[in-house]
Structure 1
């Protein structure tokens, strides 16, 4: 619904039950746009939204000329809206619509997807705006087939407080993972991500998918942690398992403890404990989740 056209609809001249039913039959996107017509309309929609509100807002800032907003409401499917973001005025209107959705539907979670390769001006406007509203976002992802170091660094900085933070774009070999800010958790899907980067990451937990890590590289990483002097900031590392076994990865590694949860030879139920020279424990296990078969390192 066009918010400018809707302002001419004499909705409040109708009997209360008529306009109330009209609002109740509207989707959340239309309600949010309608609420922008006047203060009275905003109050009416806000009162209705206390009972009918979306539980998730999805925002996709694309490198093209559109911004996509998706609202997932209880008991119904997705409502989608595409807004032009070609001009500065259109960009600002898009951001105002998102802010209005937050204002009307208060009990929500918000996820953001940014595409790499976006126009520099548009990206700067979006990220500056997102930085001011960082606490609104619970999930953020950067997607693309290529990326610049600046794109990745700015994205991670703005959304560093997100519960779910995903880097779904490749980084350059020169990207410095010793970030000037701390990340609670990060999911990485980058075949070019090097295992050496784990030593410098300023992060608590990292989840690595589509990696090129081999059993030999992981074994070297474990031995370096056990016998070396380098400190590791990470407390949890989860890596998508490739076509190698845990036994192959740990062959020749001194094991301090081994527990078979299932009481049989099922490797997926094995837990291994390894200590370093400071007597700290590394627990290695396997798990299966929607992402696939993972190896878990807990320090």
Structure 2
């Protein structure tokens, strides 16, 4: 599948939903069905996002045009609906069934998982968060095996468009959701790709959070890369001040040097501090080692 086609793969924006599809032999019809699923589930979830659900709803698209829908409660087994789908009308009916299930099971739970797989690159997005009544930290991870610029740009586009804006900007006019949880941490993992082609895109991703620091109760934001090739020349992984576009993102506040970092003093870290419009200090640290690249945002 070329990058142009893969860029059209839809994204699922449904918190409290487990959504899975097989990643082998996805044909044009499968992608059309996924698009329909995305639209219908987004409508259903946007109307019900104020509640938690102790149920898992899974959808798998396998070889041929078989669609499997499964519903299970936590720790109580699983029931399934299986359809051999050949038309969009059939999957549309299938999604109506899901919507009805979604509306019926309105209960509370302490956690939920969102998962989706995409195309032959076998990328996956996992969001796992706790309810506001839970004290454990939430976690989100983005993983992928990338080999070209087009792949990684699409991969980062997935991050930007998938749940993050909804999670962190509940007061956004575009997503009028009163979300019952706070995302405490975010981790982005991209094995096997060099940082130069990621940084600008990740800055654009960070841009989403600019107006959401207070509304989202965000306390800790982590961007982390782990490289599959341990022989990677880490000297090519660097951030220059001239390349750092957070300055224009945070109301043009200048970047100031900051030299204190809790942790191991022996580490060779480059640290930059930025003050946002609410006069809160944002500390950006860069740690480079043979196994990965870590940027911490603490505010």
**Band the TM-score falls in, shorter-chain normalisation:** 0.3 to 0.5
CA positional deviation for 1:73: 2.0
Contact conserved, 1:273 with 1:282, CA < 8 A, in 2?
yes
> Secondary structure of 1:183's partner?
coil
For 1:278 and 1:206, the matched residues in 2 are separated by 17
For 1:281 and 1:179, the matched residues in 2 are separated by 26
Contact conserved, 2:270 with 2:286, CA < 8 A, in 1?
yes
Deviation per CA, 1:97-118, whole angstroms, max 9, x where unpaired? 2222123224589999999999
Q: Which moved more, 1:203-212 or 1:27-36?
A: 27-36
Unaligned runs of 5+ in 2: none
CA positional deviation for 1:91: 2.4
Contact conserved, 2:271 with 2:284, CA < 8 A, in 1?
yes
CA positional deviation for 1:65: 2.6
Contact conserved, 1:286 with 1:295, CA < 8 A, in 2?
yes
For 1:16 and 1:279, the matched residues in 2 are separated by 34
TM-score of the two chains, using structure 1 as the length reference = 0.33
**Residue correspondence of structure 1 range 100-119 to structure 2 within 5 A:** 100-106=100-106
Name whichever structure is richer in helix by fraction: 1
CA positional deviation for 1:71: 3.1
Contact conserved, 2:65 with 2:84, CA < 8 A, in 1?
yes
CA positional deviation for 1:95: 1.9
Taking a change above 3 Å as real, the CA distance of residues 167 and 63 of structure 1, as seen in their structure-2 partners, is farther
Contact conserved, 2:282 with 2:297, CA < 8 A, in 1?
yes
Taking a change above 3 Å as real, the CA distance of residues 84 and 71 of structure 1, as seen in their structure-2 partners, is same
Q: Which moved more, 1:212-221 or 1:66-75?
A: 212-221
For 1:62 and 1:258, the matched residues in 2 are separated by 52
CA positional deviation for 1:228: 30
CA positional deviation for 1:134: 26
Q: Which moved more, 1:203-212 or 1:223-232?
A: 223-232
For 1:188 and 1:10, the matched residues in 2 are separated by 20
Contact conserved, 1:143 with 1:167, CA < 8 A, in 2?
no
CA positional deviation for 1:59: 3.1
Contact conserved, 1:57 with 1:71, CA < 8 A, in 2?
yes
Report the number of matched residues.
299
Taking a change above 3 Å as real, the CA distance of residues 230 and 290 of structure 1, as seen in their structure-2 partners, is closer
Q: Which moved more, 1:40-49 or 1:181-190?
A: 40-49
Taking a change above 3 Å as real, the CA distance of residues 41 and 56 of structure 1, as seen in their structure-2 partners, is closer
Q: Which residue of 2 aligns with 1:268?
A: 268
For 1:157 and 1:7, the matched residues in 2 are separated by 9
For 1:15 and 1:217, the matched residues in 2 are separated by 18
TM-score of the two chains, using structure 2 as the length reference = 0.33
Q: Which moved more, 1:251-260 or 1:265-274?
A: 251-260
> Secondary structure of 2:51's partner?
coil
For 2:247 and 2:18, the matched residues in 1 are separated by 70
For 1:239 and 1:50, the matched residues in 2 are separated by 40
Q: Which moved more, 1:1-10 or 1:60-69?
A: 1-10
Unaligned runs of 5+ in 1: none
> Secondary structure of 2:207's partner?
strand
Taking a change above 3 Å as real, the CA distance of residues 170 and 50 of structure 1, as seen in their structure-2 partners, is closer
RMSD, matched Cα: 18.1
Q: Which moved more, 1:150-159 or 1:3-12?
A: 3-12
Contact conserved, 1:202 with 1:233, CA < 8 A, in 2?
no
> Secondary structure of 1:184's partner?
coil
Q: Which moved more, 1:5-14 or 1:268-277?
A: 5-14
Taking a change above 3 Å as real, the CA distance of residues 280 and 293 of structure 1, as seen in their structure-2 partners, is same
For 1:248 and 1:75, the matched residues in 2 are separated by 49
Q: Which moved more, 1:208-217 or 1:152-161?
A: 208-217
CA positional deviation for 1:81: 4.0
Taking a change above 3 Å as real, the CA distance of residues 247 and 108 of structure 1, as seen in their structure-2 partners, is closer
